[in-house]
Amino acid sequence: MASQDLKQRTTPHDPSPADAADAPAAAAPTTTTKARPRRADRRTMAKRGLRSLALAVSLPLSLTLLDIYFFGPLSAPAAAHAAAAADEAERPFVPPLWILHTLCAVSSLLMGLSAWLVWAEGGFHRRPAALPLYLAQLGLALAWGPVVFGLGAGRVGLAMAAGMVAAMVGCYKTFGEVNPIAGDLVKICFAWAGLLSVVNLKLVSM
């Protein structure tokens, strides 16, 4: 009898149906607790992505607008240069300056967006030449207006326009290898770079 009582005491307790039903309910808060940090991490990553996107787009656009303000039609040298070449009959292939400046701002915005797409996928590490090419085309684009309209150095500006086109070709190749959409955005900017080259060539030939 004593041995039977000992066996009954040492026999593991079988969970009742009520206990089995309560087990998932007890584990549910743990799963919910784990899901909350994941959602918080996703929100944090989304906020960081939006901030980096805003910086990548607004910084080159702001620099371009400042460049237009100081060296565009509002500046005295540029206004004098534009007035000297104001006759549309003599320069039929040269559009008004406001069209050039608008296209310049749009191009800087698109290039910034394409660069951000490449950066978001780690393209600047996978393609080390992508960042120098982007900075080269941005620097040449910012310097073209002051050189052509501020200093009146059309031949130097023509060389800068050619360098800008070359840098964009490099951006198109490297960006497209990382993100096809980024490469397509650079394609749009080719139209502006080509127009800039034609305008510069026309100004030199006058």
Q: 3-state class of 102 per DSSP?
A: helix
Residues 10-54 have pLDDT tens digits of: 445 555 554 544 544 444 455 555 556 666 667 776 777 788 889
Q: Within 10 A of 101 (CB to CB), how many other CB atoms are there? A: 18
For 56, how many CA atoms within 13 A lie in the half-sphere containing its CB?
Answer: 19
Q: Name the residue with tokens 């590490």.
A: 125
DSSP 135-150: HHHHHHHHHHHIIIII
**What pTM value is reported for the model?**
0.71
Give one word for 122, left, alpha or beta, with left for phi > 0 and alpha for psi -120 to 50: left
Residues 69-83 have pLDDT tens digits of: 887 654 444 444 544
Distance of CA 60 to the CA centre of its chain: 9
